[in-house]
């Protein structure tokens, strides 16, 4: 029996189900995969589907099947088309080999999103994703437009801690972004890292980039603005950029930093016990960040783009951040300004109202997870944009430096 041609990716579901029946008749596991994906699309737990993929990894993924445990795979609806893939790289893995095996697989021909994630198992691990990033830049499928590069531990941490003003080396290094960003088909890039200063953004050429997100645990100091990081971001050339997300984690000083939720503990040595007993852990104090100087170049750069959404989150120096936006202005194309998970409070509400020329033309102002109360947020109803608000605990992420 001749197997019919594979339907177009967005063909009606009934065409894919007919195709699945034909595949099952000739013993092709893609037929069962389609049936299992249909169940998942209808609400079934994906566990059965994922177990089936692991069991039949070789015929489904070709040479990449040998590394199936390193992949998290996402399929397009009720089809056998691989749409998304996360490649998890541990300290003993070869990132270039894992990336190359997947890209060389026929199953990767229609990939739209690829994530490369470093998974550090202990504080002593070091994972260099650079070879994997280079392999991805050299062989990314033409269908792929979105890439994520992440340090898994950084993504679940709330603080970066150091004994001085030079933090430890990141457990996961990303390497150069130049070749990847230069791909005209790359439209979305998301980066999650501990210390963003350890990745260079200087003079990146990103001709196709429409969305860029940089989530880190350190951004600015209280002095010497603009920082090296802000200067590098201001140098990026992204003429099509429509969306930018930056986590503005500020630097705090502590006698002994509270290490709950930290990236890597810096005060766990038994010799610290007496010092800890004398001073106790604390969440630190913040001298403030001069955001008008820090963000001058970044905001100037954005005025050269068709930016529609700007998310500046987790800052603590709220008055200075608002001053930066008022002083330098927002891109004329901007529709949504997201200032969530920050220390904006009731005392700053009047600042918005006093500068309707800056904020009034927005379609949405997002203030979720801030110190502004529901009653205080109601005063913004006449500002102009839709207000999306919820109360929270203020700045969520920070860089903590211990004073010994």
Structural domain including 149 reads 38-402
- In-domain check, residue 58: yes
Contact indicator for 249, 399 with CB cutoff of 8 Å: yes
The residues, ordered by sequence, that sit 6+ positions from 206 with a Cβ below 8 Å of its Cβ are 181, 182, 186, 189, 212, 236, 237, 238, 241
**Does residue 149 sit within a domain?**
yes
Closest CA to 48 of 58, 60, 59, 38: 38
The residue-averaged pLDDT of 195-205 equals 98
With H, G, I as helix, E, B as strand and everything else as coil, classify residue 61: helix
**Domain holding 93: CATH number?**
3.80.10.10
Helix (H, G, I), strand (E, B) or coil at 365: strand
Domain contains 21 = no
Region at 216 (left for phi over 0; alpha for psi -120 to 50; beta for the rest): beta
Average pLDDT, integer, range 159-165: 90
Domain-embedded: residue 6: no
Domain-located, residue 185: yes
pLDDT of residue 157: 97
What does each C-alpha distance from 24 to 51, 186, 200, 241 come to in angstroms? 18, 36, 50, 45
Rounded to the nearest angstrom, the gap between the alpha carbon of residue 116 and the centroid of all alpha carbons in its chain is 11
Tell me the per-residue pLDDT of 16-71, one tens digit each, with 9 for 90 and over.
999 999 999 999 999 999 999 999 999 999 999 999 999 999 999 999 999 999 99
Q: At 315, which helix (H) or strand (E)?
A: none
Convert 322-337 to b/e letters by CB count within 10 Å (16 or more is b): bbbbbebebbeebebb
The CA-atom distances, in angstroms, between 165 and each of 110, 125, 402 are 45, 22, 9
Phi, psi of 270 (to 5 degrees): -55, -25
Q: Cα angle vertex 126, ends 121, 129, to 5°?
A: 105
Q: Among residues 196, 202, 151, 195, which one has the least CA distance to residue 172?
A: 151
Question: Is the Cβ–Cβ distance between 242 and 306 less than 8 Å?
Answer: yes
- Count of domains forming the chain: 1
Q: What does the pLDDT look like over 124-150, one tens digit per residue?
A: 999 999 999 999 999 999 999 999 999
Q: Average model confidence (pLDDT) for the chain?
A: 94
Structure tokens at 182: 């230069």
The span from the CA of 233 to the CA of 209, in Å, is 14
Element (H, E) at 24: helix 13-25
Q: How many alpha carbons fall within 13 Å on the CB side of residue 257?
A: 27
pLDDT recorded at residue 258: 87
Cβ contacts of 350 within 8 Å, gap of 6 or more: none
Q: According to the model, what pLDDT value does residue 368 have? A: 97
Judged by DSSP in three states, 366 sits in: strand
Q: What's the whole-model pTM score?
A: 0.95
Ranges of H-type helices in 140-247? 152-155, 178-181, 228-234
Per-position b or e across 173-205, b if 16+ CB within 10 A of its CB: bbbebbebbebeebbbbbbbbbbbbbbebeebe
- Helix or strand holding residue 327 (H, E): helix 318-328
pLDDT tens-digit readout, 69-120? 999 999 999 999 999 999 999 999 999 999 999 999 999 999 999 999 999 9
Under 8 Å between Cβ of 388 and 368: yes
Whether pLDDT at 269 is above 90:
no
Q: Distance between CA 102 and CA 109 in Å, rounded?
A: 10
Return phi, psi of residue 338, to 5°: -110, 115
Of 291, 321, 263, 276, the closest CA to residue 123 belongs to: 263
Residue 18 in any domain: the answer is no
CA dist list (Å): 283 to 66, 259, 263, 374: 46, 9, 15, 26
């Amino acid at each position: 029996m001749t197997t019919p041609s594979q339907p177009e990716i967005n063909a009606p579901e009934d065409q894919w189900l007919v195709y699945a029946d034909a595949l099952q008749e000739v013993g092709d596991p893609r037929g069962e995969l389609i049936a299992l994906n249909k169940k998942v699309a209808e609400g079934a737990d994906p566990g059965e589907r994922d177990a089936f993929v692991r069991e039949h990894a070789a015929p489904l993924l070709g040479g990449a099947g040998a590394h199936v445990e390193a992949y998290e795979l996402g399929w397009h609806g009720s089809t056998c088309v691989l749409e998304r893939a996360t490649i998890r790289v541990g300290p003993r893995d070869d990132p270039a080999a894992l990336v190359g095996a997947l890209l060389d697989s026929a199953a990767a021909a229609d990939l739209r999103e690829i994530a490369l994630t470093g998974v550090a198992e202990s504080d002593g691990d070091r994972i260099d994703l650079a070879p994997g990033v280079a392999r991805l830049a050299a062989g990314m499928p033409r269908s792929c437009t979105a890439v994520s590069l992440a340090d898994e531990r950084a993504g679940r941490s709330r603080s970066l801690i150091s004994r001085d003003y030079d933090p430890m080396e990141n457990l996961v290094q990303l390497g150069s972004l130049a070749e990847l960003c230069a791909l005209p088909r790359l439209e979305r890039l998301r980066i999650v890292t501990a210390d963003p200063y350890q990745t260079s953004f200087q003079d990146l050429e990103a001709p196709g980039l429409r969305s860029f997100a940089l989530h880190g645990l350190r951004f600015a100091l209280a002095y010497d603005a603009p920082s090296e990081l802000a200067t590098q971001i201001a140098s990026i050339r992204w003429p099509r950029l429509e969306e930018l997300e930056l986590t503005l984690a500020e630097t705090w000083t502590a006698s002994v930093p509270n290490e709950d939720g930290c990236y890597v503990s810096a005060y766990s040595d038994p010799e610290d016990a007496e010092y800890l007993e004398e001073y106790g852990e604390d969440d630190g104090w913040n001298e403030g960040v001069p955001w008008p100087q820090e963000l001058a170049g970044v905001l100037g750069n954005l005025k050269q783009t068709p930016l529609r959404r700007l998310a500046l989150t987790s800052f603590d120096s709220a008055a200075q951040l608002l001053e930066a936006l008022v002083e330098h202005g927002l891109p004329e194309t901007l529709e949504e300004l997201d200032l969530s998970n920050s220390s904006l409070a009731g005392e700053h509400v009047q600042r918005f109202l006093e500068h309707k020329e800056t904020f009034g033309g927005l379609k949405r102002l997002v203030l979720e997870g801030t110190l502004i109360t529901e009653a205080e947020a109601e005063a913004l109803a006449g500002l102009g944009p839709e207000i999306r608000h919820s109360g929270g605990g203020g700045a969520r992420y920070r860089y903590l430096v211990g004073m010994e």
